[in-house]
Structure 1
Amino acid sequence: MSDVVFKVAGESASPAKFIAKTRGFEMVVDEPENLGGTNEGANPVEYILAGLAGCINVVGHIVAKEMGFVIHNLKIEVEGNLNPNKLFALSNEDRAGFKQISLRLSPKTEASEDILAKWLERVNERCPVKDNLMHVTPVRIELEQQYAIKT
C-alpha cells in the first residue's frame, strides 16, 4: 500500500483559538480560560491525547480481529503531564511537551489474560500515533509572505 497523506488547514479565530478543517470536518482548538482561552474546544495537547486514544482504539480492534477475538467495548483513559513554564517563557528547566503519557485500557472481551497480553504487545507496536510520539518525526515549518494590512 502506498503512503496516505493527511491534511489539516485552518485559521486563527483569536490568540488562543484556532479553527481547523480536515476532510469536511471542523475542529475547534482552544485553551481553557485559565490559560487565556474561551474554553470552546479541546486544547492542542488534549487533541494529542485524544488522537492517541483514538488510534489505540482502531489498532486494538484491528489486531483483535486478526487474532480471532472480539472486543465488545474498549474504554481508554489517557493522561499526560506537562509543565507550561516553557510555553509561557517562565523557565527553561522542563521541556515544553509532555513529560509522560499514561494509558489505561479496559477491554470487554472473552479473550484470556495471556491473549490480551499478546494483543497489547501488537497494538503497542502498530499504533501510528504512538510511533510519532515515541520517535522523532521531522517537522518542517515554513513562513509564507505576510498578509498586507491596509490602513
Structure 2
Amino acid sequence: MDTIKTVKVEAEMQEGFAIRSNINGHTLIIDQPEAARGSNLGATPLETFLFAIAGCVGTIGRIIAMQRKLELRGMQVQVEGDYNPAGLLGKPTDDRIGFQQIRISAAIDADWSEEEKKSFLDEVCHRCPIHDNISLETLVTHQSS
C-alpha cells in the first residue's frame, strides 16, 4: 500500500494585499504590484503558481537525472499562462476564472539529442505532482472557521 504524505501551508493576510507565510523556515510573501494597489512586496499569486510549476519541473528533472546517472548540467524552465482577469474582478465573463492554457518549455543543458530531451521532459512532466494537479481534476474543498 502506498503512503500518502500531507503537505500543509498556512498563510496570513497582512496590510493591503500582502499575504505572508513561513514555510520550512522560509518567509514567503505574495502581493500585488503598486499599479494594482498592492505594495509589490512579492510576486502575485498567479506568478507564484507558475513559478511553482517551473520549480517542480526543475526539481523532478534533477531527480530523474540523478536516478539515471545522467549528466544534466541544467534546465531553464519557462511557464506562461493565459487568463481573463474579468472573473476575478467580479465582472461577467463566459471564460473560466483560471488559466485557459498553460505552456511549459524547457531549455535542457545536456549532450542529448532533441528526441532524448523531449522524452526526458515528457517523463519529467508525467512525474511532476503539480503538472498532474493542473492536468487532471483534483478534488478541492474549502471551509471557513
TM-score (structure 1 length as normaliser): 0.87
Equivalent residue number for residue 147 of structure 1: none
Root-mean-square deviation (CA, aligned residues, Å) is 1.5
* Cα distance in 2 between the residues matched to 1:83 and 1:121: 28
Consecutive unaligned residues in structure 1, runs of 5 or more = 145-151
Q: Is the 2:16–2:39 contact (alpha carbons within 8 Å) kept by the matching residues of 1?
A: no
How far apart are residue 36 of structure 1 and its match?
2.5
Q: Say if 2:142 is the partner of 1:141.
A: yes
Equivalent residue number for residue 94 of structure 1: 95
**1:1-150 aligned within 5 A:** 2-144=3-145
- Secondary structure class of the residue paired with 2:73: strand
Q: Does 100-109 or 116-125 show the bigger shift? A: 116-125
Q: Is the 1:80–1:101 contact (alpha carbons within 8 Å) kept by the matching residues of 2?
A: yes
Consecutive unaligned residues in structure 2, runs of 5 or more = none
Q: Deviations over 1:47-69 (max 9, x none)?
A: 11000000000111222333442
For 1:85, give the aligned amino acid: A
For 2:77, give the aligned amino acid: I
- Secondary structure class of the residue paired with 2:13: strand
* Cα distance in 1 between the residues matched to 2:33 and 2:84: 15
* Cα distance in 2 between the residues matched to 1:80 and 1:28: 21
For 2:30, give the aligned amino acid: V
* Cα distance in 1 between the residues matched to 2:130 and 2:56: 6
Q: Tell me which protein shows more strand as a share of its residues.
A: 1
State percent identity of aligned pairs: 30
How far apart are residue 130 of structure 1 and its match?
0.5
How far apart are residue 138 of structure 1 and its match?
1.4
- Specify the structure having the higher radius of gyration (Cα): 1
Q: Deviations over 1:92-125 (max 9, x none)?
A: 2211111111122101111222322221221121
How far apart are residue 18 of structure 1 and its match?
0.8
